[in-house]
Structure formats: C-alpha cells, structure tokens
Amino acid sequence: MNIAVIGAGYVGLVTAAGLAHLGHTVKLGEANPDRVASLEAGEVPIFEVGLAPLLEAARGTGRISFHISNPTAVKDADLVFLCLPTPADATGRADLSFIRRVVDELALVVEPETILVVKSTVPPGTTVALHKRLADLGSSARLVAHPEFLREGTAVEDFLQPDRIVVGAFETLDADAVSALYADFGVPVVQTDPTSAEMIKYASNSYLAARLTFANALANLSEAVGADIVDVLEGVGLDHRIGPHFLKPGPGYGGSCFPKDTLALIEVAADAGYDFRLLRAVIEADEEQRQRIATKVKNAAGGDLNGRTVGLWGLAFKAGTDDVRESPATRIARLLIDQGARVQAFDPEASAPGILSTGSPLEAVDGADVLLIATEWPEFTTIDLGEVRNRMRGRTVVDARNLLDPATVRGAGLEYFGLGRS
C-alpha cells in the first residue's frame, strides 16, 4: 500500500518505519525542516530502542521518504496516518489545533477514497467532529480512529508485537482496510465505532495510571504498618484477575501521556456532566507521591535541605528514554532545589534545564549527603557501592524505584530507604 504518515515524532517515526518494514511504501510528512533534513541525512532525531536499524533498513529498500510538504506526502496515498501532538491546553483539555489544521490542509488535496487514520490520542467524539468538518469542507475523504498504544522505550517492539489493534470506523470497509495492515500479527482486532475507539485509549491510560497509583498508596501504607510491598504485590499480582504488571511502586507517573490523558479525561467527563472523582483522586495522589519522596530525602538529610547536597540518579521519566516531560525525577529535584539543596544529577540519556548534570553516577554522589534514585536505569544496579560510600559525605540512599537490594546497600555501609520496605 501507499501510506503517508504525518508527524515525525516518536509515534510517527515508529509507525512509518514499522509500516515500511511490513512492506508498504511510506511518505513521511513533517513540518520542521531541520527534522526532515536530519532524517534525510540518515540521522534519527529521537532516542528509541530499535528505531535506528528499522529506519536504516527502510531507507535501504527505498520504501521510506521524507517531505516538508504534507500535500506532497499524501499524493497517491491509500491511507494517511495522522500522528500529531495533542498536548494539554491551559484547561487540561487536549489541544486539537495541530490535528484540525492538518485535516483542513488535506481535506481537498487527498483522493476521495483516501482514508485519514487518526493515530493521535484524541478525546471521545473528536473523529465524529472531524468527519463533519471534512463534509463541511466538501471533502469525501474517509476517517478512522486507530489509537496507538506504543510505550516510549519499547515502541518498536510494541508496534511489531501489539497486545491488540483497535480500529474505530464509520464503515466496515474502512475498518477492514486498516485492520488488514496487521493481518499477519495474529493478535485480536477490536473493530468498533470511532468514539468507542477513542475511549479505549483514554480508558487504558487512565486505568494504568490509577493502578500504579494504587500500588504507590499500598507501598506507603505497607511502610506505615511494617509490611513489605515487594511481597505484598507479588501476592496480589498472582491473582489471575489482577496480574503482575504495572504494580511497581515509584515516584509517580510521568511522560507525555499519562499526565495529559488523565487530565483530559476528567475534562471530557466534566463536559459530559460526569464528575470523575476517582480519577481526580489519582492525580492528587500522584502529585503527593512526588512530595512524599522529597520529604523522605529531606528527612534523610537531617530535616533541613539548606546547604545539603543530593546526588540524583535519573532524570528521565522512566528508564529506556531520554524524555523528561512531566518526569517525577525532575519535579522532585526542583522541590529539593527550592528548599535549598544542591542537586547533582546523572542520567545515561537525559538532561534537564536548571538541574546540574554530572558525567557519571559516581561524580553525582561526590560530597553528597543523600543519594536519591529516581529512574530505574538497570546500570545503576552495577555501580560499586563501596565507592559510592567513599565519595559521599552522608550515608543515606533513598531508592524511589526499589531498584537496589537493601541488604547489598547496607552491606556496603550505607543506610537504605526504599518504598514500602521496612
């Protein structure tokens, strides 16, 4: 098939490279000329495991090309994937201006039978509204809601081995055309109406956010009553109705998706006359979790952060990415800095404005009163803890990811505070 992908962000790039890998001819449309130039020069503008070789292979077969002009990219396309950002606006609602602008731009340019595929996360009802917009503009282009479920860091794997495919269409024929792309994957395909497809995406992200916030709450409670959260969640997760995934306590959820999607769903609910109190409580508890970690660090530093140095391992919102958007690590770092601490950070991939980055995990703990582990990079488990102790001024490790083995840390002469572990 001839496929256009509009937007060379992480969803667009992975989708384009993945579709080319499946044998389709893909034209990628991107408004940022620097990004197009870098892609044409063989560079990969984002860090995503497995993306570089997939793009390289696509270039090698000549099945992928890059375009600044969207009308050029969609010429002769059977399907046009819209992979555009939908950031939260000042009210928490999803900002649909990028997607509306591109739909307007393409309405009369695409062939009448072309299917526009909405990959971006958009609030329930958006595809119906865009459909009307196309009709008002005199376009007979078709429209399908086809949400993505890619995780940063494992996006290529998620594209090639998804749990499920969701296609929301007005016509069965359009749903079948999109579903056919994944015929060889052998995974369940949910064909539904566009609004339900959009709802599946928000429901999935909000449920996952609520689930891990619940695990954080259980960790806090376990700490208070003297239970061990690792054992508690192992026991809970073995119930097949619950399962073991997404139950790791941490400093709260971050990234470009959960924070904005939970906020947006609350606004969708409010606009529809439903007060989604449960989800509001999740967002509140998530922010409390960041503050709780900052308080743990403050207590570990003797109750006052003024003039204290905190070594910080991790800036990215999770391991496997350089993304610091809504990162709990950077939020906690700023809470500590605001209370007078000097924060010395190390992250293998990420950096953040206003937070001092050092060249290695050991440099980050030089003269530190407390070490805070905020991102679960596996390489942090192999650092020589004896050397960490030698370089630190203090002796305390606050492990906000339960990444290290408490006995090993204590064996190195350090004090260990995890989450939900006595």
Residues with catalytic annotation? 257
Q: In the complex, what is the shortest distance from the CB of residue 270 to ligand UGA, in angstroms, rounded to a whole number?
A: 21
Question: Residue 81 or residue 317: which is nearer to ligand UGA going by CB?
Answer: 317
Q: CA–CA distance from 326 to each of 37, 338, 372 (Å)?
A: 29, 17, 18
What six digits make up the tokens of 346? 């190390």
Whole-angstrom distance, CA of residue 235 vs CA of residue 220? 17
Starting from the edge strand earliest in sequence, which strands make up the sheet with 189-192, in order? 64-67, 25-29, 2-6, 79-82, 115-118, 142-145, 165-169, 189-192
149: contact with ligand UGA by CB under 6 A: yes
- The interface with ligand UGA within residues 234-273 (CB under 6 A) comprises 246-248, 250, 253-255, 257-258
Among the listed ranges 33-41, 146-154, 184-192, 360-368, the one in contact with ligand UGA (CB under 6 A) is 146-154
d(CA 163, CA 324): 26
Name which position in 30, 48, 148, 174 contacts ligand UGA (CB under 6 A): 148
Instruction: Report if residue 298 touches ligand UGA, rule: CB under 6 A.
Output: no
- Given the complex with ligand UGA, which of 137 and 187 has the nearer CB atom? 187
Q: Which is nearer to ligand UGA, 81 or 253 (CB)?
A: 253
C-beta of 66 vs 377, nearer to ligand UGA:
377
Query: Is the Cβ of residue 96 or residue 412 nearer to ligand UGA in the bound state?
Result: 96
Q: Which of residues 185-224 bind ligand UGA (CB under 6 A)?
A: 205, 208, 212
Residue 45: how many other CB atoms lie within 10 Å: 18
CB 309 within 8 A of CB 344: yes
Helix and strand numbers, DSSP H then E, in the chain: 16, 14
Residue 325 in contact with ligand UGA, rule: CB under 6 A = no
In this structure, the dihedral spanned by the alpha carbons of residues 82, 92, 135 and 127, taken in order and rounded to 10 degrees, is 60
Number of other residues whose CB lies within 10 A of the CB of residue 225: 8
Q: Is 82 in the site for ligand UGA (CB under 6 A)?
A: no
Judged by CB under 6 A, the residue of 75, 100, 133, 151 near ligand UGA is 151
- Token output for 65: 């090309």
The binding site for ligand UGA (CB under 6 A) comprises 121, 148-152, 205, 208, 212, 246-248, 250, 253-255, 257-258, 317-318
